[in-house]
Amino acid sequence: MNAFRNVKLGINIDHIATLRQARLGDFPKPWMAARAAELGGADGITVHLREDRRHIQDFDLRQIKRVINVPMNLEMALSADIIKIALWLQPEKVCIVPEKRRELTTEGGLNVIGAQKALRRAIPQFQEKGIEVSLFIDPVRRQIEAAHRLGVEAVELHTGTYANAKGERRKRELRRITHSAQLAHKLGLKVHAGHGLDYQNVRAIAFIPAVQELNIGHSIIGHSVFVGLKSAVREMKRRVTDSRKSPRGSSPKSSR
């Protein structure tokens, strides 16, 4: 494994739709954000079609897929309605996530062991259409092993606990993510990571050799308010790429 290859960066544009839905209008348009993110260097566009449709709407999926030239990663719950839409849309990737109606954002990883029956029904439906399947999971050995047994192509490790921790707790969580990424890679799974990553904490996660892709949204969209989305994506891309060029303890150059 080449420890210093570039890490792919997927941009989650859900919160562009959140802003639009605040007025229930038609602006800002998520498809325009997807194009700007791609121009800024995004390797993929991630959207989460939630059951409650709090941000991304069904028509957004069609518009975004029509205009982008990079893979679409559709985050989705194991809901019959959402599965049907995903099979019709045929994004390049789906990431199956847990979903609670009252949560502000995804609070943790999918319980793969508890959802095995439903996953065994859903996963082959996607794979038969050539759609790559990943499972959004906590960095826990038994969840990784369960994902491997289900035959998915990838896992996305939940980095929210790491992002919210400080000091020694953050170091412990980073070690846990590193060991989990190594295990997943050893089992032949692609390793993605995401949730809560920002311009300050992303470097250590991107430095992990087994991590191949990061999916980041809120911090980039927030920064784009001040610098524009294309520039915000370009800056994050630079930080992610620089993490593989310098020791973990050094600071990548900032464009701010």
Query: Residue 102's pLDDT is what?
Result: 56
Residues classed as catalytic: 48, 75, 195
State the Cα torsion 26-30-31-34 to the nearest 10°: 160
Query: Residue 249's pLDDT is what?
Result: 42
Task: Check: CB of residue 159 under 8 Å from CB of residue 197.
Answer: yes
44 has which bridge partners?
A: 10
Rounded Cα distance between 16 and 229, Å, is 10
Per-residue burial over 12-32, b if 16 or more Cβ lie within 10 Å, else e, is: bbbbbbbbbeeeeeeeebbbb
Query: Residue 243's pLDDT is what?
Result: 86
pLDDT, one tens digit per residue, over 211-247 is 999 999 999 999 999 999 999 999 999 999 988 775 4
193 has which bridge partners?
A: 157, 214
| Alpha helix segments (H runs only) across 68-166 | 80-89, 116-127, 141-150, 160-164
Rounded Cα distance between 28 and 26, Å, is 6
Query: Residue 5's pLDDT is what?
Result: 67
CATH superfamily placement of domain 8-242: Aldolase class I (3.20.20.70)
Sites in the chain below the pLDDT cut of 70:
1-5, 100-107, 246-256
Rounded Cα distance between 44 and 19, Å, is 21
Query: Residue 100's pLDDT is what?
Result: 64
Domain boundaries, the chain: 8-242
Query: Residue 6's pLDDT is what?
Result: 81
SS3 state at 25: coil
Residue with tokens 């994506």: 233
Rounded Cα distance between 183 and 181, Å, is 5
Query: Residue 81's pLDDT is what?
Result: 95
Closest CA to 135 of 116, 118, 157, 117: 157
Query: Residue 245's pLDDT is what?
Result: 72
What's the one-letter identity of residue 10? G
Rounded Cα distance between 24 and 177, Å, is 39
Residue with tokens 């809560």: 196
